[in-house]
Structure 1
Amino acid sequence: MNKFFFFVAFILATNLIAQDQKFNTLNTIPSETDLKATTYQRDTTANAFYIFEEGFSQISVKRDYDLSTEYKAKIKILNKEGLKYANIEIPLVKTDHSSEKIYDLKAYTYTWENGKKVKHTLNQANVYKEEFETHDLIKFTFPDAKPGAVLVYSYELVSPYLFDFNTWRFQEYIPKEFSRFTAKIPANYEYYVTKRGELELKKADSRVAKQCIDFGGNSSIADCIETVYEMEKIPAFKAEDYLTAERNFMSRIEFELIQITHLDGYVKKFTKTWDDVDHELRTSKGIGRQLRRDGLVDELLPEEIRALPNNLDKAKAIYSYVQKNYTWNGEYNIHKDMNLKELIKDHTGNVLAINTLLHNLYDAEGFKVFPVMASTRRRGFPAKIHPVLSDFNYIFIQLELENEEYLLDATEKNLDFGRLPFRALNQYARKIDFENGSSWIDIIPKDFSQITFRDSLKIRKDGTSNGFSEQILTGYHALTLRNNMEETSEDEIFNKFSKPNAHTRAIETVLKNRDNLNEKLLIRYSLENKTQKINDRIYFNPFNFQFFTENPFKLEERNYPIDFGYKDAYLYSAIVEIPENYEIEELPKDKALRMSDGLGSLIFAARKISESTLNIQCRLSFGEAVYPSAYYEGLKKFFDEIIQVQTQSLIVLRENS
């Protein structure tokens, strides 16, 4: 009987939820359900959400053949935190000669009061414009906005920039119940159309609209291709750790003009090929010219470096020379004119200047070297299908030596030879070869960055323990610590970077190879642990340090990859000596986990190697730098297991009576 009542209650609750979800997704008219809703069942953490959104873009005759986008939206405010979405900003791009304009802006706030719908209209006097160098912002706040309100607004945006047909962003930082975009493009206008993000479209239907636009004159009426894109139940984009640029993964439709075929047959191209770009770079006053200025560096290297044979030792010496003698000013500016003379004189410059100097020194000494254009992790991925130079904001070099390829960047003082700064680890980049043509290269590090813990501990009869821990850091773990040590004393390293457990403290810290970048970074701690004795038993956690203090993955669902940047490994070994007159009552259980496809593993074991000595081994590895979103749930559970092993692995010792 109880089960029956539970089943009935469940059905009733399900029906109520379904009723709550029957929003008006046909237009911007607020329904009673829209106005009365107090939560969004698909995402109960949402403070606001779009009920309906629609856009229509076309080349408009009445707007003098500029690009017209009609936009309308209906937003539900659920609570006080959602009121920030009542503040609207509409960006308008501008140049010295032209600008985008906005027409027919309307905005209304709807509330449910005393059993009826009440409408509040935006006063146009409360619409403001903020002017900046490259754009303006149209700003307004919905009148009488409050929790429970439904906000509706619409406008027409007219743009002279046909090269970038309107990008439609299906996904934002709040959910959307429904979003539709229609693109009506003359058939003689050819665009690249790219869908970004992992969310699936509900609809992408195209039709031919006959004789849709008249360009004037005889035989000047053209057909159009009209495409309708729809998406529904769109989750909010929620950023989490191990993410590159958010713009890489937010679901949207992008357009870029390839060419216009005029009705007289003349073709005007807008998108360049990589051959065009290679020629442009080769002949430019910036990158191309400076890469050819080997004469500036003829006498720059010390004679003891120049006298070396062209082997790996000499390559490392040249790299170290630039790294130590020239300082990065924190700027990129790879598309601006750069003067190598100024860098050589001032010993300070941007990314382009420093890595161009490195390139030219190698080239002058007879090494085979190429510039590589890239985009930083925060910038986003550069387009692969066709060249977009503005996608690139970074440059480093590739050195080919003794059948090996080395990626080099001399902007960081603590970066070891053959490693890129973490900011540059954006999966792929474009190698510039003026003789054979440019090409894409993979820049994901092939080696593992590793931390090895080697502990030796002696437990006393009172449950306290002492000993030492030696930690060995390689790759990006070593780089991170070296970069931070300039602002951190050796005594602070223990708490800030080694992630000690609560029962562990350091008595003394010794650091080795701090400045020797090509050697492993070593830290040695003298340890003292608090007592863990209860009555006649000692409960001892053999982990003095943690790989991770918490699970970084907390989302219900993640629709973008997990990008660590590099492959990662942790090794933990400990020799534990137990006190006299104690015996081992319990050891933690062994654990051996492997992710699917062998992309990660966790192995833990505790072994008795004598009557008084235990050996603890734990190995953790992540075999890929980047995991597709399909692995998210598996990684989330994997991290739970890691945390559990580190916090709940207890050795129980019993005192003999």
Structure 2
Amino acid sequence: MYTLFRITLFLVLCPAVLFSQEFDFGKIKSEDFEIDLSSIEDTTAEAVIIKEYAEVNYIYNEQRGFEIVTVTHVLKKILKTTGLEHGDVTIPILIGPSRSKSETVYRVHAMTHNLEKGKVEHTELGKKDIFREELSERVNLLKFSLPEVRIGSIVEYQYTRQTPVNVYNKPRTWYFQHDIPCLWSEIDLVIPSFFTYHTILSGYIPLEKQESKEISYSLPGANMRVNAWHQQFAVKNAPAFKEEPYITTTEDYISKIEFDLSTFRLPNEAEKNFNLTWEDLNKTLIESETWGSKLDRANNFLKDEVQPFLAIEEPMARVEAIYDYLTRTYMWNQEAGLWFNRNLKDIASSQRGSASELNVLATVFFRKCGIEANPAILSTRSHGKINQMFPLLDKFNYTVALVQVNDTKIPIDITEPLLPLTLLPLRCRNGAIFEVTKNGGNFIDLDESAKYHNFEKLEIEIDPTSEKVSGIYEGHKKDYAALKNRKVLHEVGENEFASEIKKLKSDWEVENFEVHNSNDKNESLDIGYEFSWDAPEYNADLIYVSPFLFLQWKDNPFKRRERAFPVDIGYTLFDGTSVTFKTPEGYEIEEVPENANVVLPNKGGRFRYSIAKMNGGVTVNFQCILNKPIYHSQEYPYLKELYSRIIEKQSEMIVFKKKGK
């Protein structure tokens, strides 16, 4: 027999006692309700997974070929009213053009266990309470709700999924971590040596068990003994995965195991190789009718359209002019995805398309204008990060154009008309991009200096006599900060934009509202207005004023004591504010906050807070600077402390005292 199985792991196999956490269905005793939850350290948990176990085997059927049979068994305890929803179960089923090319789910058993006066009562789910729902042409949902579920219940369910390999050729991803804590999660696989898989572990929780050994067993349906690999992976006491600020997508951080088919080989037959090298992936894209082959066609429909740009001699000026034209002319339909069927002439004619359609068209346009350009593929932040160890096409979902001017390569996306040429949309800032060329592809690192730049200046005057506060606001926004505001301005117009500011400050009167450079994406977006409001509380012997009463950050985005995964902001940041208070007539400065300066290690950033007294007033300067788009988990405590100091300083007051008091 052939023993070709290869496993690629990020962890080293360690000797351990081989044991299974498989458990019998329905065998719940009164002592099983006494669960020690101290190990999960989560008082907010609404439910807990006591055990979950998947057993994966392969069978052979003459009509359906090889099939993957997975038996899943789950045991949960409901801890709070909000956890009652964990008694609802949904199982997705893949549907093909025929029964032999569709998944089946059967042997569904479900039961609720309740402890009543020391006795366990079991309530079984009826077959009539299991429903099937069509989600799409390709996916159905099997749904059921367990009966008699209440706080303290243990819910249990088990089902068998049978998947033809010609429908889905690998074991499904197994998640060790969920939105509630899990005390034990295990997957147990027996994989015949006909199949070899890359096995990809991800997440930040160490395995409690990891075993792999070669065995010989009788393959069901094939009437023969085969060599196989028996593998077990388990995690103990996995905390609930909770969304945190500044992450890409849950899939990049949650603890799970994935499988990707590498080779398939039957005795006396040639091996089918599903492995891709990056060179293979590049070749597949170049030759694809739904992608790269469109680049090499004559595309003469662009002949007249490119003529004006050929007259621009300086290459960078030509690139900028083309970019401005393309972003004005073509509209993104909000769709991502790598592949597309429409030809470029139809896309150009409609002036509308997906990101890949528009940016492949842009690549051709640049080439027609004499600019060296290639397409590049990436995975957006919501789609997940690319692991460069594994050339997997389905991990990519977006195309951009990559132009070269002199020795500089510039990634360009024409879907955001309000962004400068040198900035990709934030959704695209998710690690390196892969350039596709006839001579072989390669990864290109993105510039890490892309910035969110915001500076605000206020001059404020307090008049205790008229019990009014008045002042002037100036805002200067660049790059991603400008994009956010330009989008709103273009959607609603200046008048409505001003109205929105008034709504945020309902007690303000806003006058002389001005916006400059709303259409010039290469310049700072400048916003200015005058404001005033009634403030009877300022007619007192002591006037307490928060310098950031108007622009205060509400709270620290980093609330957890520690964080296992990186803080991925996506850009560097400069956020600055300067607030000048004119000393009210008849008053003097009594007290001001102390200066502060918090510096992150390794020049990672800083928070600077300084106050300067001057004739007739006081000026407060605030700066938050983050020099890195990504901070690793070891840097998290320092980042959290920096934000804590910001919140602390913003609560401090300037005190003006009436003279003679």
What's the TM-score once normalised by structure 2's chain length? Answer: 0.88
Instruction: Give the corresponding residue for 1:105.
Output: 108
The answer to whether the 8 Å contact 2:464/2:539 transfers is no
The answer to whether the 8 Å contact 1:204/1:227 transfers is yes
| Structure-2 separation of matches of 1:244 and 1:656 | 58
Instruction: Give the corresponding residue for 2:399.
Output: 395
Instruction: Give the corresponding residue for 2:12.
Output: none
Mapping for residues 398-409 of structure 1, pairs under 5 Å:
398-409=402-413
Instruction: Give the corresponding residue for 1:14.
Output: none
Letter in 1 for 2:582: E
| Structure-2 separation of matches of 1:215 and 1:37 | 41
How far apart are residue 362 of structure 1 and its match? 0.9
Letter in 1 for 2:445: D
| Structure-2 separation of matches of 1:367 and 1:347 | 22
What secondary structure does 1:481 align onto? helix
How far apart are residue 570 of structure 1 and its match? 0.8
| Structure-2 separation of matches of 1:361 and 1:49 | 56
Q: Residues 224 and 134 of structure 1: is their aligned pair in 2 closer, same or farther, counting only changes over 3 Å? A: same
Q: How many residues align structurally? A: 630
How far apart are residue 300 of structure 1 and its match? 3.8
Which of 122, 127, 150 aligns to 1:124? It is 127
Which of 244, 259, 271 aligns to 2:275? It is 271
What secondary structure does 1:399 align onto? strand
How far apart are residue 398 of structure 1 and its match? 1.3
Instruction: Give the corresponding residue for 1:592.
Output: 597
The answer to whether the 8 Å contact 1:583/1:656 transfers is no
Q: Residues 347 and 298 of structure 1: is their aligned pair in 2 closer, same or farther, counting only changes over 3 Å? A: closer
Instruction: Give the corresponding residue for 1:67.
Output: 68
Per-residue CA distance 1:549-583 (angstroms, 9 max, x = gap): 22223345544332212111112223333134432
How far apart are residue 600 of structure 1 and its match? 2.5
Which of 243, 248, 251 aligns to 2:247? It is 243
Letter in 1 for 2:205: L
Instruction: Give the corresponding residue for 2:57.
Output: 58
Q: Residues 173 and 496 of structure 1: is their aligned pair in 2 closer, same or farther, counting only changes over 3 Å? A: farther
| Structure-2 separation of matches of 1:85 and 1:588 | 50
Which of 452, 455, 458 aligns to 1:452? It is 455
Instruction: Give the corresponding residue for 2:47.
Output: 48
Q: Residues 444 and 158 of structure 1: is their aligned pair in 2 closer, same or farther, counting only changes over 3 Å? A: farther
Letter in 1 for 2:231: T
Letter in 2 for 1:535: A
Per-residue CA distance 1:183-213 (angstroms, 9 max, x = gap): 2223453211111111111111222224564
The answer to whether the 8 Å contact 2:340/2:357 transfers is no
Q: Residues 124 and 444 of structure 1: is their aligned pair in 2 closer, same or farther, counting only changes over 3 Å? A: farther
What secondary structure does 2:579 align onto? strand
Letter in 2 for 1:567: T
What's the TM-score once normalised by structure 1's chain length? Answer: 0.89
What secondary structure does 2:268 align onto? coil
Q: Residues 644 and 416 of structure 1: is their aligned pair in 2 closer, same or farther, counting only changes over 3 Å? A: same
Which of 189, 192, 200 aligns to 2:206? It is 200
Letter in 1 for 2:67: D
Letter in 1 for 2:202: R
Mapping for residues 258-657 of structure 1, pairs under 5 Å:
258-264=262-268, 266-301=270-305, 303-435=307-439, 437-443=440-446, 445-462=448-465, 464-490=468-494, 493=497, 506-528=510-532, 530-531=534-535, 533=538, 535-543=540-548, 545-546=550-551, 548-609=553-614, 611-656=615-660
Per-residue CA distance 1:396-441 (angstroms, 9 max, x = gap): 1111113322221111221221111222222232211222x11222
How far apart are residue 647 of structure 1 and its match? 2.9
Per-residue CA distance 1:341-400 (angstroms, 9 max, x = gap): 112222222222221221111101211111111222222223422322222221111111
Instruction: Give the corresponding residue for 1:82.
Output: 83
How far apart are residue 272 of structure 1 and its match? 2.3
| Structure-1 separation of matches of 2:270 and 2:303 | 53
Instruction: Give the corresponding residue for 1:9.
Output: none
Which ranges in structure 1 are unaligned for 5 or more consecutive residues?
1-23
Instruction: Give the corresponding residue for 2:259.
Output: 255
| Structure-2 separation of matches of 1:576 and 1:334 | 54
What secondary structure does 1:319 align onto? helix
What secondary structure does 1:642 align onto? helix
| Structure-2 separation of matches of 1:309 and 1:334 | 34
| Structure-2 separation of matches of 1:489 and 1:336 | 34
| Structure-2 separation of matches of 1:628 and 1:252 | 20
| Structure-2 separation of matches of 1:356 and 1:638 | 43
Instruction: Give the corresponding residue for 2:9.
Output: none
| Structure-2 separation of matches of 1:50 and 1:528 | 56
Q: Residues 216 and 491 of structure 1: is their aligned pair in 2 closer, same or farther, counting only changes over 3 Å? A: closer
Range with bigger deviation, 283-292 or 502-511:
502-511
The answer to whether the 8 Å contact 1:501/1:543 transfers is no
Per-residue CA distance 1:291-322 (angstroms, 9 max, x = gap): 22353354343644321114211111001111
Q: Residues 196 and 429 of structure 1: is their aligned pair in 2 closer, same or farther, counting only changes over 3 Å? A: same
Letter in 1 for 2:58: I
What secondary structure does 1:486 align onto? helix
What secondary structure does 1:299 align onto? helix
Range with bigger deviation, 569-578 or 459-468:
459-468
Which of 30, 33, 51 aligns to 1:32? It is 30
The answer to whether the 8 Å contact 1:585/1:654 transfers is no
Q: Residues 487 and 363 of structure 1: is their aligned pair in 2 closer, same or farther, counting only changes over 3 Å? A: closer
What secondary structure does 1:607 align onto? strand
How far apart are residue 240 of structure 1 and its match? 2.8
How far apart are residue 51 of structure 1 and its match? 0.7
Which ranges in structure 2 are unaligned for 5 or more consecutive residues?
1-20
The answer to whether the 8 Å contact 1:129/1:139 transfers is yes
What secondary structure does 2:305 align onto? coil
Per-residue CA distance 1:50-108 (angstroms, 9 max, x = gap): 11111111223589642111211111122332221111111122322511112322111
| Structure-2 separation of matches of 1:647 and 1:27 | 58
What secondary structure does 2:201 align onto? strand
Letter in 1 for 2:541: D
| Structure-2 separation of matches of 1:93 and 1:233 | 31
Letter in 2 for 1:227: Q
What secondary structure does 1:377 align onto? coil
How far apart are residue 645 of structure 1 and its match? 1.9
How far apart are residue 181 of structure 1 and its match? 1.3
| Structure-2 separation of matches of 1:498 and 1:252 | 48
| Structure-2 separation of matches of 1:442 and 1:545 | 39
Q: Residues 159 and 621 of structure 1: is their aligned pair in 2 closer, same or farther, counting only changes over 3 Å? A: same
- C-alpha RMSD of matched pairs (Å): 2.8
Q: Residues 298 and 71 of structure 1: is their aligned pair in 2 closer, same or farther, counting only changes over 3 Å? A: closer
The answer to whether the 8 Å contact 2:176/2:255 transfers is yes
- The yes-or-no answer on 1:96 pairing with 2:100 is no
What secondary structure does 2:640 align onto? helix
| Structure-1 separation of matches of 2:174 and 2:306 | 56
- The yes-or-no answer on 1:155 pairing with 2:159 is yes
The answer to whether the 8 Å contact 1:200/1:231 transfers is yes
Q: Residues 557 and 235 of structure 1: is their aligned pair in 2 closer, same or farther, counting only changes over 3 Å? A: farther
Q: Residues 39 and 216 of structure 1: is their aligned pair in 2 closer, same or farther, counting only changes over 3 Å? A: closer
